[in-house]
Amino acid sequence: MPELPEVETIRRQLSPRLQERLIQDAHSHASEKFTPAVASIGATIQGLNRRGKYLIGPLNDGRELIIHLGMTGALSLTPSVPDDPYIRAWWQLDNQESLIYRDVRRFGRIRCVPAGQYGAIPTLAAQGPDALSADFTPEAFYQALRRSRRRIPTQLLSQKPVAGVGNIYATEALWIAGVHPAKRQISRPAATRLHAALVEVLEAGLANGGTTLRDYRNADGDEGSHQHALACYGRSGQPCLRCAAMLQHRTYDARTLAFCPQCQPR
């Protein structure tokens, strides 16, 4: 699933190209997850923002076009709409380009809502501060973790203590911070280390254009390169890059997570 670095990479590529573009026409797959795309016809896109893993296009009529890429979603701008069975929505713009939303597994979704009114999108409404925003502070993060008894990775993936983190970058940050994935509570110093590790791995992933393990492509159709920099995710059975102990993996709350038994004591 695209996480913050992948979604932000796409946003940076598309935002200047969508600025002040009039949506002349739109079509969608019949699923109600995608049909809201057509509600934006006649509006002008005023850029492209992001909150966590959501892309948010403010419209000139006081609404927002909201896109979540799900697990396999991709956005691109093309001169024409290709003949592709996996295109779930497309928007014809006033510069002879089309914004294409392609999603093989159909786990993504599109909404068009009044600006800031996210009641119909509960995961967006309930998410915590964006991981790369000034609101994501070590103390606020620690207090958010304290309010739950769920395992730390499960809390991270809920998007409530911090928005934008998924399995890949959570695994990497836990390894850097020395936090075992089975833990349900951590100390303030450990939370501070994990906070710094999350910012570190997300910024590195963004600098590398995201992580492509299978499906992810940016708006130009290119792969990211951060998969070559992963220290823990996907490396179970290989030596830890820090202590040389063999990395292991366990399934917690239906998520399989790699970790170092020596660097991340339980």
The CATH number assigned to the domain holding 253 equals: 1.10.8.50
Question: Based on the structure, what is the number of domains in the chain?
Answer: 2
What is the SS3 string spanning the chain?
CCCHHHHHHHHHHHHHHHCCEEEEEEEECCCCCCHHHHHHCCCEECCCEEECCEEEEEECCCEEEEEECCCCEEEEEECCCCCCCCEEEEEEECCCCEEEEEECCCCCEEEEEECCCCCCCHHHHHCCCECCCCCCCHHHHHHHHHCCCCCHHHHHHCCCCCECCCHHHHHHHHHHHCCCCCCCCCCHHHHHHHHHHHHHHHHHHHHCCCCCCCCCCCCCCCCCCHHHHCCCCCCCCCECCCCCCECEEEEECCEEEEECCCCCCC
Q: Is residue 96 part of a domain?
A: yes
From first CA to last CA, the distance across the chain in angstroms is 28
- Residue range 203-232: average pLDDT? 97
Instruction: Report d(CA 160, CA 129) in Å as an integer.
Output: 8
Same domain, 152 and 251: yes
Inform me whether the pLDDT recorded for 130 exceeds 90.
Answer: yes
Same domain, 63 and 39: yes
The CATH number assigned to the domain holding 24 equals: 3.20.190.10
Q: Please choose, from the candidates 60, 64, 63, 62, the residue with its C-alpha nearest in 3D space to the C-alpha of residue 50.
A: 64
- pLDDT band at residue 220 using 50, 70 and 90 as cut-offs: very high
User: 134, 166 in Cβ contact below 8 A?
Assistant: no
Inform me whether the pLDDT recorded for 90 exceeds 90.
Answer: yes
Cβ burial, residue 23 (10 Å; 0-12/13-18/19+): buried
Of 126, 151, 179, the last residue of a domain is 126
Same domain, 121 and 144: no
Inform me whether the pLDDT recorded for 14 exceeds 90.
Answer: yes
Instruction: Report d(CA 176, CA 46) in Å as an integer.
Output: 39
pLDDT digits (tens, 9 = 90+) for 44-80: 999 999 999 999 999 999 999 999 999 999 999 999 9
- Residue range 176-195: average pLDDT? 98
User: What domain range is 93 assigned to?
Assistant: 4-126
- Residue range 113-126: average pLDDT? 96
- Residue range 8-35: average pLDDT? 98
Average pLDDT, the chain: 97
Instruction: Report d(CA 254, CA 137) in Å as an integer.
Output: 29
Inform me whether the pLDDT recorded for 1 exceeds 90.
Answer: no
As annotated, the active-site residues are 2-3, 53, 255
Same domain, 12 and 41: yes
